[in-house]
């Protein structure tokens, strides 16, 4: 596909509540994981602005995405404020880090308002479009999700989602308030035992937003996970393994939203171009 026609709209759209987003968005975690030179921060700002120019209108972030020198939320604010009307910024609460970067215990329900307000301050917003409760180790998310539902009623949050959950958590949350998205690790070779849960989300009109779909088990280390079938398709089609992985993600259903992240402007264009890559039945079968 010629670069001149590459756009995030090539893979179609989905609605998060009353907000329409292109199915390829942008994950902000990588913005803080490059080197320490000031030019890297400038490049991150440039990548965000270029992403929006190319039609990205769904950005995934969190207040706990920060390094010793950079904060993803602050970079988003610097690059994109004042925000265009159709830009949807999704953040997540639950985990937290102290100023030195050390992880804190999962926030209590009564601490979630402070985390929401931290995101509001950093992003320069008066409300958050989508807030995901990212859980860890909870048998029930009801109390935590209920606290966020109260903040939704108060006007601080527009829509609610869930992250890092088990299937029963979705039912617990839906009994309290609408859920517009689920963020879980999922990819060609990552957590495939959740195939049915992915389908269940689609049946209930809930977007499924995989993370680590490109890095696989490498997780925060970044890069593209090695996979012989992925590499064979990439070679045959003249595309990158990351593009094959994004195309596979989008093939799993119209409710799948991809949020590949990068601080490299060339990789940004490649990721968005994957929205126009349609894998054949045989190629999809080889990835199973």
Contacting residues for 188 by C-beta, under 8 A, at least 6 apart: 213, 216, 227, 229, 230, 245, 248, 287
Do the beta carbons of residue 102 and residue 73 sit within 8 Å?
no
Do the beta carbons of residue 206 and residue 181 sit within 8 Å?
yes
Instruction: Write the DSSP string, 86-137.
Output: T-EEEEEES--B-TTSPBPPPPPGGGHHHHHHHHHHHHT-SSEEEEEEE-SS
Q: Which of 8-17, 139-148, 186-195, 221-230 has the least mean pLDDT?
A: 221-230
Do the beta carbons of residue 246 and residue 258 sit within 8 Å?
yes
DSSP state of 248: H
Average pLDDT, rounded, for the chain: 92
Q: Could you read off the pLDDT of 217-257 as tens digits, one per residue?
A: 655 545 677 888 999 999 999 999 999 999 999 999 999 99
Instruction: Write the DSSP string, 134-167.
Output: E-SS-S--HHHHHHHHHHHHTTSEEEEEEES--H
Token output for 255: 């409710």
Helices (H), the chain: 38-53, 72-80, 112-123, 142-153, 167-174, 195-203, 228-237, 241-251, 265-273, 281-286
* 179-214 residues labelled b (16+ CB within 10 A) or e (exposed): bbbbbbbbbbebbeebeebbebbbeeebbbbbbbbb
Q: Which residues pair with 201 in a beta bridge?
A: none
Q: How far apart are CA 247 and CA 275, in angstroms?
A: 6
Contacting residues for 286 by C-beta, under 8 A, at least 6 apart: 229, 232, 233
Do the beta carbons of residue 23 and residue 275 sit within 8 Å?
yes
Q: Could you read off the pLDDT of 51-93 as tens digits, one per residue?
A: 999 999 999 999 999 998 899 999 999 999 999 999 999 999 9
Active site residues: 65
Token output for 121: 């301050």
* 12-34 residues labelled b (16+ CB within 10 A) or e (exposed): eebebbebebbbbbbbbbbbbbb
Do the beta carbons of residue 285 and residue 209 sit within 8 Å?
no
- pLDDT the model gives residue 33: 72
Q: Could you read off the pLDDT of 95-140 as tens digits, one per residue?
A: 999 999 999 999 999 999 999 999 999 999 999 999 999 999 999 9
- Cβ burial of 88 (10 Å; 0-12, 13-18, 19+) is buried
Q: Tell me the pLDDT band of 1, cut-offs 50, 70 and 90.
A: very low
pTM: 0.93
């Amino acid at each position: 596909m010629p670069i001149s026609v590459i756009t995030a709209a090539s893979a179609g759209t989905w609605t998060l509540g009353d907000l329409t987003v292109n199915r390829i968005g942008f994950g902000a975690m990588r913005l803080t994981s490059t080197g320490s030179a000031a030019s890297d921060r400038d490049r991150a700002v440039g990548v965000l602005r270029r992403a929006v120019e190319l039609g990205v209108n769904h950005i995934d972030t969190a207040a706990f995405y920060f390094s010793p020198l950079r904060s993803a939320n602050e970079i988003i604010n610097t690059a994109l404020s004042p925000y265009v009307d159709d830009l949807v910024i999704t953040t997540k609460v639950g985990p937290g880090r102290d100023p030195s970067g050390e992880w804190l215990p999962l926030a209590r329900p009564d601490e979630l308002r402070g985390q929401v307000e931290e995101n509001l301050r950093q992003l320069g917003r008066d409300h958050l479009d989508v807030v995901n409760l990212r859980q860890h180790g909870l048998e029930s998310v009801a109390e935590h999700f209920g606290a966020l539902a109260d903040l939704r009623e108060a006007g601080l949050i527009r829509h609610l989602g869930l992250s890092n959950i088990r299937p029963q958590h979705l039912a617990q949350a839906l009994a309290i308030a609408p859920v517009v998205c689920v963020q879980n690790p999922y990819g060609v070779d990552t957590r495939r035992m959740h195939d049915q849960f992915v389908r269940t989300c689609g049946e209930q009109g809930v977007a499924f937003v995989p993370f680590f779909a490109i890095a696989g088990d490498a997780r925060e280390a970044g890069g593209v996970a090695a996979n012989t079938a992925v590499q064979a398709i990439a070679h045959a089609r003249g595309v990158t393994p990351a593009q094959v992985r994004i195309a596979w993600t989008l093939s799993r259903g119209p409710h799948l939203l991809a949020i590949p992240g990068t601080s490299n402007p060339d990789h940004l264009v490649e990721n968005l171009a994957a929205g126009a890559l349609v894998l054949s039945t045989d190629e999809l079968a080889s990835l199973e």
